[in-house]
Amino acid sequence: MSAGHSAYEPNNGLMKWLDARLPLPRLVYDSFVAYPVPRNLNGWYTFGAILSLMLVVQIVTGIVLAMHYSANVSVAFNSVEGIMRDVNYGWLMRRLHANGASMFFIAVYIHIFRGMYYGSYKAPREVLWILGVLIFLVMMGTAFMGYVLPWGQMSFWGATVITGFFSAIPLIGESIQQWLLGGFAVDNPTLNRFFSLHYLLPFVLVGIVILHVWALHVTGQTNPTGVEVKNIKKDTVPFTPYATMKDALAIVLFLILFSWFVFYLPDYLGHPDNYIEADPLKTPAHIVPEWYFLPFYAILRAITFNISIPFTDIVLIDSKLGGVIAMFGSIAVLFFLPWLDRSPVRSGAYRPLFKQFFWIFAVVAILLGWLGSRPAEGTGVYGMLTAGDFSRNYVGYAQILTAWYFIHFLVILPLLSKIEKPKPLPDSIADAVLAK
């Protein structure tokens, strides 16, 4: 679509001059003014714009915070409190930044689930989807390192647990862990490099986001019908004013939610233990990551068993490595989604079976998040089967839901494309709209 001819016409001498040398206004005009978007996009399609805004909010507040923050274990905690108490509007900057991270993840999860429901990952948008998963991964890394910077108890112990994953790698794990930490345990070198990377990665994100938007503008957006645009005039509307205005409304509504947390519930999404300075000698009763990592944390802790060669005691994968593999696998599987779901019908709205499994999956993901916040108690599925241990068997529930998580991607989606009978698709986007 963007391959079509440009509709931009410079309307004064300066713009003509610039257009002949660096056609930046032309790029912006063609991408965000004249760019055709499907006329039937619903509210779920506004989260891309919301996410772009959140990235900017995080970078701007983050740069201000970095001006007042000290990345040294002896003063990091108090420098953050100095921002809260003595820097003019420092409390606002920090609240915006900390809650902004949570809002960023709320938006990204909705954006991802929207993509899953409407089949946005299917050809020809595989690269677009993969870039999105990559953005999600880099976001997770950035958020994790940012959470370490205030140097509270959860910062320290979260960092200890997460970097501990690498020690699970056979043979070279411990060396890798020490190399990443800059020592034998989380300490000043760790804090320094996390600060450095936390400042760097958002700009990497900006780069990948530009690629993501580029890929989007090459293939064009999907839409709730999943039918490709056939007639630009009938099926689409220009980005400005239509999408611009809809995105603007969504952004303002999202900012209301954001403000509600920043001004009235600023600590709701955080952990109280992070108001206690890091103490390497005192482990908190329950180490939990930030809420947006909880489903993955639950998957990590669900693997409480070793994988051995059947009928022998030779352990192939011990439970720790198994947990790490399952956790990274749960994200890695997203990269392969375009090839796991082979159904030719894009939109879930026309796939009666897929639709049901999609919602089951969404509930499973939320329940996994809840289990991630529970202590790892219980005897697991093994205990359920052998001793009927069902009450508060959090490990057991997590094991069942983790299994379902993978079954959804690896079994259900490939099977559905073979057995499902989709509903008839509309001939075009315009037909679908006019039928309403």
Partner 1 sequence: MKLTKILTGFSAACLVAFMAIQPVQAAEEEGGTPHYPINHPKHVHWSFSGIFGHWDHQQLQRGLQVYKEVCSACHSMNLVAFRNLEELGYTEEEVRAFAKEYTVTDGPNNDGDMYERAAVPSDHFPSPFPNVQAAAASNNGAAPPDFSLLAKARAPERGFPTFIFDIFTAYAENGPDYIYSLLTGYQDPPAGFEMPEGGHYNPYFIGGPTLAMAPPLSDEIVEYEDGTPMTVDQYAKDVASFMMWAAEPTLVQRKSMGFKVILFLLLLAALVYLTKKAIFSSLKAGGPAAASAYAGGAVASAPMGESAATGPASASLVSGTPPSGAANTPTASELRAGVDYIDDIELIDGIGATIAKRLRAEGVNSLSTIASMASSDLASLAEKVNAKGRPEREEWQEQARELISGQPPRAQVDRLKVEKMLNKTF
- Cis omega (within 30 of 0) for bond into 272: no
Distance, in Å, from the CA atom of 1 to the CA atom of 39, rounded to the nearest integer, reads 15
Does 421 participate in binding partner 1 (rule CB under 8 A)? no
- Smaller CB separation from partner 1, 34 or 425: 34
Distance, in Å, from the CA atom of 235 to the CA atom of 428, rounded to the nearest integer, reads 7
Does 281 participate in binding partner 1 (rule CB under 8 A)? no
Write out the binding residues for partner 1, residues 216-255 only, by CB under 8 A.
231-234, 237-242, 245-246, 248-249, 252-253, 255
Does 275 participate in binding partner 1 (rule CB under 8 A)? yes
Cα–Cα separations (whole angstroms), residue 207 to 218, 374, 377, 435: 17, 37, 42, 41
- Smaller CB separation from partner 1, 184 or 435: 435
Write out the binding residues for partner 1, residues 10-29 only, by CB under 8 A.
11
Distance, in Å, from the CA atom of 417 to the CA atom of 58, rounded to the nearest integer, reads 40
From the CB of residue 70, how many other CB atoms can be counted at a distance below 10 Å?
16
CB of 125 vs partner 1, minimal distance in Å: 22
Stretch near partner 1 under the rule CB under 8 A, chosen from 121-129, 143-151, 163-171, 260-268: 260-268
- Smaller CB separation from partner 1, 212 or 351: 351
Does 417 participate in binding partner 1 (rule CB under 8 A)? no
Does 406 participate in binding partner 1 (rule CB under 8 A)? no
Among 24, 206, 363, 434, binds partner 1 (CB under 8 A): 434
Residue 346 φ/ψ, nearest 5 degrees: -80, -50
CB of 180 vs partner 1, minimal distance in Å: 26
Does 363 participate in binding partner 1 (rule CB under 8 A)? no
H-helix or E-strand spanning residue 317: strand 315-317
Does 74 participate in binding partner 1 (rule CB under 8 A)? no
CB of 263 vs partner 1, minimal distance in Å: 2
Cα–Cα separations (whole angstroms), residue 57 to 28, 96, 288: 21, 8, 26
Locate 176 and state its tokens. 């890798």
Stretch near partner 1 under the rule CB under 8 A, chosen from 163-171, 173-181, 340-348, 378-386: 378-386
| Residue labelled with tokens 């220009």 | 238
Residue 37 φ/ψ, nearest 5 degrees: -115, 150
CB of 414 vs partner 1, minimal distance in Å: 8
